[in-house]
Amino acid sequence: MATASNEIPTTMNAFVLTEHGDLNALKFHTDWPVPTPNDDQVLIKVKACGLNNTDINTRTGWYSKAVTEATSGGGYDKVDDEDPTWGGAPITFPRIQGADVCGEVVAVGKNADASLIGRRVLTDNWLRDWADPMNREGTGYFGSECDGGYAEYAVLDRRNVGPIDSTLTDAELATFSCSSTTAEGMLSRANVTDKDTVLVTGASGGVGSALVQLAKRRGARVVGMASEAKHADVLKLGADVMLPRSPTNLQSALKQAIGQETVTVVADIVGGPTFPDLVEVLSRGGRYTCSGAIAGPMVDLDLRTLYLNDLTFTGSTVIEPHIFHDVVGYIERGEIKPVLAATYPLADLQKAQQAFIDKKHTGNIVVIP
């Protein structure tokens, strides 16, 4: 293993998930072992780590098919032990969660490029079989199927780090990876172009604020949906017009806002009770793309709308590897902006997650080790 000249300690501060449950399932340790990279890994000194719903969903077991309600930060009574994670398989405890790391490479395994040492990097969170990167059966997520970034140090495969040149702060950079790659994956799967009008749900959140910026980057017209207190923030990110989180009549709200009752694309991370209205406002041949269901996974679908209107539905989770590198380029060229709502010390992760769950913020929240 090659290391930077500064000494690497043997123990570190880390927030460790010990079981599925509420915020008390997270325990802070000051003497957790610093991981050692294997031949293909690098050791990252974590400078900042962004929060994500996947940490909350995994902690609470929301991904379990036994859970049918909206995401909440507390635990659920009826989680099935067999499928409590995004990939539908159990995880092992203890587990350090946290995916969106901005940090510095301080050591590398023997197969990794030693020139990475000292580089500022973002993490590409999709763990892959690098012999067959789009084999979805061989994927995992940083902070879920392996330890992540709610700690002072983390290890990750050399192919999962992206060096970045940017004047943004570590905390600002830690807002991007999960939300922006997810958003870009959705837009690319729905083939969004400058001919589209894209309706973005949850436009004030991490993925939603990235969807707004990335759809505008593609030249599309963007209609955002969010709580009214956050409309000004999302308009500043480039949304052409904003609608409430759940308009009473979405068709007439659209007609009033953009002069037409339909859109060509719905990019949805909210789902729940508004879903049927979202599908009804798609024009013939429209595309619905989905990466989340924060307001509830169980929805009503009129199949006649789907087939009679020639709609295309795409789910989007495991994305092509190039998308991470594309997003790094967009950040470096200033084509997308960070939306950093707040930072907390790592030791206050529970408070940070509570604020994240309360949803009074726009964008994302980041912890600093």
Ligand X SMILES: NC(=O)c1ccc[n+]([C@@H]2O[C@H](COP(=O)([O-])OP(=O)(O)OC[C@H]3O[C@@H](n4cnc5c(N)ncnc54)[C@H](OP(=O)(O)O)[C@@H]3O)[C@@H](O)[C@H]2O)c1
Which residues of this protein are in contact with ligand X, per CB under 6 A?
52-54, 57, 70-71, 178-179, 182, 202, 204-208, 226-227, 230, 245, 269-270, 272, 291-295, 317, 359
- What is the Cα–Cα distance from 185 to 325, expressed in whole angstroms? 12
Whose CB is nearest to ligand X?
205
Give, to the nearest 10 degrees, the angle between helix 177-189 and helix 322-332.
110
Q: Is 120 helix (H, G, I), strand (E, B) or coil?
A: strand
Cβ atoms of 215 and 239 within 8 Å: the answer is no
Closest CB 187 distance from ligand X, rounded Å: 13
Closest CB 191 distance from ligand X, rounded Å: 18
Type and span of the H or E element at 53: helix 53-60
Closest CB 23 distance from ligand X, rounded Å: 16
* Rounded (5°) CA angle 177-14-349: 65
Which CA distances in Å does 238 have to 46, 217, 302, 349?
31, 9, 33, 31
Task: Compare residues 156 and 200 and give the one whose CB is closer to ligand X.
Answer: 200
Closest CB 18 distance from ligand X, rounded Å: 22
Task: Compare residues 54 and 123 and give the one whose CB is closer to ligand X.
Answer: 54
Task: Compare residues 245 and 255 and give the one whose CB is closer to ligand X.
Answer: 245
Task: Compare residues 272 and 286 and give the one whose CB is closer to ligand X.
Answer: 272
Closest CB 304 distance from ligand X, rounded Å: 26
Task: Compare residues 61 and 272 and give the one whose CB is closer to ligand X.
Answer: 272
Q: By CB neighbour count within 10 A (0-12 exposed, 13-18 middle, 19+ buried), where does 41 fall? A: buried
Task: Compare residues 264 and 364 and give the one whose CB is closer to ligand X.
Answer: 364
User: Which phi and psi angles does 107 have, rounded to 5°?
Assistant: -160, 155
Cβ atoms of 126 and 139 within 8 Å: the answer is yes
Nearest Cα neighbor of 240 from 257, 263, 260 is 257
Closest CB 342 distance from ligand X, rounded Å: 12
Closest CB 124 distance from ligand X, rounded Å: 13
Task: Compare residues 141 and 153 and give the one whose CB is closer to ligand X.
Answer: 141
Helix, strand and coil in the chain, % to nearest 5: 30, 25, 45
CA terminus-to-terminus distance, the chain: 24
